[in-house]
Amino acid sequence: MVQFYSPNRRSVNRGIISVTADNLDAQGQGIARHQGKTIFIAGLLPGEQAQIQLTEEKRQFAKAKVVKRLSDSPHRVTPRCPHFKVCGGCQQQHVAAELQVKTKASVLEHLIQRETGINISAHPIIRSPEYGYRRRARLGLQYHARQRTLLMGFRQSQSNDLVNIKHCPVMRPELEQLLQPLYQCLNSLHAVKRLGHVELVLADSEPLIVLRHLDPLKHEDKETLRIFSVQYNAAIYLLGEEKALEPLMEGQTVPWYQVNGLKLVFSPQDFIQVNDVVNQQMVEQALAWLDLQPTDRVLDLFCGMGNFTLPIATQVQATVGVEGVAELVASGQYNARLNKLNNVDFFHENLESDIHQQPWAAQGFNKVLLDPARAGAAGVMAHIVKLTPEKVVYVSCNPTTLARDSKVLLEAGYHLVSVRMLDMFPHTGHLESMALFSSEPMEIE
């Protein structure tokens, strides 16, 4: 008889354990130790004692839920959002802001030290308002047939179900105050059963609403939306079957935002930084770190629509931005002309392919900025080294790939001069940062 090998499955101890958390991770989970194993516990803060139950157990660590909290940390605060603990958008509204940023900075410092051997402080932190910071949000739309009503909101934690959002204090107030009237408007449409999602964006010009609809909208529905647009001074864009964006009404103001004194026009579908306050500080810090001079030639990789490129261009001889999304490149080129910057070139190129044959790669640059996606910039690091720039500023939304890519520069003789933690998304586990590298030794900040 043939016998098949079946590995022993690790059973989870469902008994109640008493622990005291001694630390916090970047996701806002309490960290405790029990019988030599690290346990991550959602909702528990350092110093708090609790009775917990394991939900997942691995060889090196386990995850658990709180059955009963036996003490409260002075860092525990009352969440401002009524949907907290149900909505998956925020995980840390119960944690005082100071502990949130201190923990994220410590995680960043530890990761860099572990991967590079360099002890460096991620302070001073570039701070955000604790609430009212998010100028962009996408909400799912689902028609609930049994209740004959629309659900509009964010996904529940660890679920595809929607939380019907009526308040969202992390949104800019101008957007949050649109939530309830917008819900009533959409729920009244004939096409209510065939809506996909709605996106709210706060431009400096006015609020924008992008509505994804799966079937063509009838005249009555467009008129309902037009009345809402006028009443609430919000420009509405329709995203239909062909996913081609159309303004609801002719003559709508083209959306724009300002950065470093420049006016940047954008499409509602273009990527812009969600946190405007942190973005302004981040751009200012990057320009200061680059120590821009009139003779500089600066390369901006993963440049988007020129959020860094165009402010840099105001201070240097020449700037080149390289981006993989054609629509963002077109926006960057338009904004260069709008701001009368004639020393900027944008290239639409795939920075994950063979970059050595790309037209920008043959040019010389003495300073480089890069702002890659979560996957990092592995494909361009060797070329950056080949350019031998004096300074490199790396803006990161993933500390793991920042640490990995940093090693390429360090092995080439560059010095890690400074690191900043960016408080881009308060109350969440997202950890954004930026780092300065120099070809010459500099005093570490």
Binding-site positions for S-adenosyl-L-methionine read 273, 302, 307, 323, 350, 371
Say which of 26, 162, 163, 397 is annotated catalytic.
Answer: 397
Q: How many CA atoms lie within 13 A of 135 on its CB side?
A: 23
Question: Strands across the sheet with 297-301, in order?
Answer: 344-348, 318-323, 297-301, 367-370, 391-396, 432-438, 415-422
- In eight-state DSSP terms, residue 157 is T
User: Is position 397 annotated as part of the catalytic site?
Assistant: yes
Distances in Å between the alpha carbon of 355 and those of 297, 305, 390?
Answer: 19, 20, 21
CB-based contact 268:253 (threshold 8 Å): no
Looking at the DSSP assignment, which residues form a beta bridge with residue 52?
Answer: 17, 66
Residue carrying the six token digits 């006015």: 206
CB-based contact 31:23 (threshold 8 Å): yes
Rounded Cα distance, 71 and 425, in Å: 28
- Please give the annotated binding residues, written as ranges: 81, 87, 90, 168, 273, 302, 307, 323, 350, 371
Question: Strands across the sheet with 162-164, in order?
Answer: 162-164, 149-155, 136-144, 195-202, 207-213, 235-239, 245-247
Active-site residue list? 397
